[in-house]
Chains A and B, each alone.
Chain A
Amino acid sequence: MSDDLDMKGEEIDLLAAEYALGIADDEGLARAGALLADDEDFRRGVARWSGRLAPLLEEVDSISPPPDLWTRIENAIGPRIIALAPEVSSNIHVLRRRVNLWRGYSAVATALAASLALFLVTRPSAEAPTQPSAGAPLVATMEAEGSPAKLVATFDPASRMLLVAPAAGLSAVAGRTHELWLIPADGKPRTMGLLEPGGARRVAIPPAMLAEIKADVTLALSVEPAGGSPTGQPTGPVVAAGKLVRA
């Protein structure tokens, strides 16, 4: 390695240290931002300096946060969107069949549908219902004018699962992500989690949110900064939206 390269490496490691220390000036921050994006050595340097300095945090006293903060966090995190394995994605036809059943025999099919719901998830999950609630599946076709994105969302009350299948036009944008929102009657959007591009997703609806998922509520997908909306409300353009209706 030449002296020039050594000098450059030294300079970059010092910037990594300043960045991890949180002391980099505006110029340093702008450079750090660019290096974080495409310099593996710099990223490693920042990670190492963070690790080196971390023991200093031991001397900070623990202080209990106010008791209601957990409730606020629980409301802010919403459900978590889980990517479905390809073989499970392809099983979505089971749900479609169920939806068709409902269309045809909605009165008679309640019991049958409840048992078919077991096909929706390949293995039992922590959120699996102990008391399946009966009810018709809800379907939303999500789209927006001027946007190529199109999604089909299906909520199955028996399994408490919302399945979201991007049908078209959902592409990755560097530094941005898609966030799914539920907009209940009060008009105040609640996050359903981040939707990365890819195949179908399932969202396990937490019990507290269950009552809000019903016919006529809107599902919307907005573009947000990486990591999701910083405010807890949609901040970017809505690229797809649609109302849940009875299947």
Chain B
Amino acid sequence: MENPAGVRTGSEEGRPLADALTAVAGGDRAAMADLYQRTSSKLFGICLRLLGSEAEAEEALQETYVAVWRKAGLFDPAKASPITWLAILARNKAIDRLRVRKPGSNAGLEEAADVVDPGASALDVLEDAQESHRLSGCLDELDARTGQMIRAAFLDGATYPDLAGREGVPVGTMKSWIRRGLLRLRGCLEQ
């Protein structure tokens, strides 16, 4: 049914997924059904983790696959593996929903997406195999708290105010912690 290895796939499993995406770009509905069969559990897990509600995760998953159907032609196998591209797409759709849902917090990517065509930019993912390999180690090199907060932002959709409240510090302080953490992370990844 789905790729048991998780997000990253070896070429053996990745190859057919890329082929399926190419076929989907050409309007092949059978390839679309196959792609859904093989990737929807992973993508639903991502949406559900971020949104916490089954109903909303279903909506986000539907939006994700409608976008896949329409924008599969933008997938570039030279830039990212198919499952990474799909996982980031699902995550961004879920984040969009999360931001719209929380009044008073950010209006979310949705607002920015209104200004530009999200098709061209927000779907762009550039992977570097070396960096991917190092991510876990580099996050561990940050102080434990900062590493945890970056994970919480990416995987659970935590915002600056959320994290500041959790740590009992002003939002401005949290911002500079995270920004410093991101710069150190980049430095470590690019070594």
Within 8 A of A (CB), among B116-156: 116-119, 121-122, 124-128, 131-132, 135-136, 150-151, 153-155
**Category for how many chain B residues contact A:** 35 or more
Instruction: Tell whether A63 pairs with B27 under 8 Å between CB atoms, given A29-B108, A225-B114.
Output: no
Measured in the bound complex, the distance between the Cα atoms of B92 and A23 in whole Å is 12
Residue on A nearest B135 in the bound complex, by CB: A55
What string of 1s and 0s marks CB contacts (under 8 Å) between A1-41 and chain B?
00000000010011001110111111001101110110000
Residue contact A33 to B32, C-beta cutoff 8 Å: no
Residue contact B183 to A62, C-beta cutoff 8 Å: no
Instruction: Tell whether A23 pairs with B46 under 8 Å between CB atoms, given A55-B132, A69-B58, A227-B67.
Output: no
Does A96 reach chain B (CB closer than 8 Å)?
no
Residue contact B160 to A66, C-beta cutoff 8 Å: no
Does A217 reach chain B (CB closer than 8 Å)?
no
Residue contact A22 to B153, C-beta cutoff 8 Å: yes
Residue contact B62 to A47, C-beta cutoff 8 Å: no
- How many pairs, one residue from A and one from B, have CB atoms within 8 Å of each other in the complex? 214
Does B87 reach chain A (CB closer than 8 Å)?
yes
Measured in the bound complex, the distance between the Cα atoms of B72 and A242 in whole Å is 30
Does B15 reach chain A (CB closer than 8 Å)?
no
Does A80 reach chain B (CB closer than 8 Å)?
yes
Residue contact A204 to B27, C-beta cutoff 8 Å: yes
Residue contact B112 to A33, C-beta cutoff 8 Å: yes
12 A–B contacts from the bound complex (CB under 8 Å): A14-B182, A18-B179, A30-B112, A33-B111, A33-B115, A33-B116, A34-B115, A46-B121, A52-B185, A54-B132, A74-B33, A80-B69
- Which A positions have Cβ atoms within 8 angstroms of B? 10, 13-14, 17-19, 21-26, 29-30, 32-34, 36-37, 43-44, 46-48, 50-66, 69-70, 72-74, 76-77, 79-80, 82, 126-127, 174-175, 193-194, 204, 206, 225-228, 230
- Which B positions have Cβ atoms within 8 angstroms of A? 1-2, 6-8, 26-30, 32-33, 36, 40-42, 44-46, 48-49, 54, 57-58, 61-63, 65-67, 69-71, 79-80, 84, 87-88, 91-92, 95, 99, 106-109, 111-119, 121-122, 124-128, 131-132, 135-136, 150-151, 153-155, 157-160, 175, 178-179, 182-183, 185-186, 189
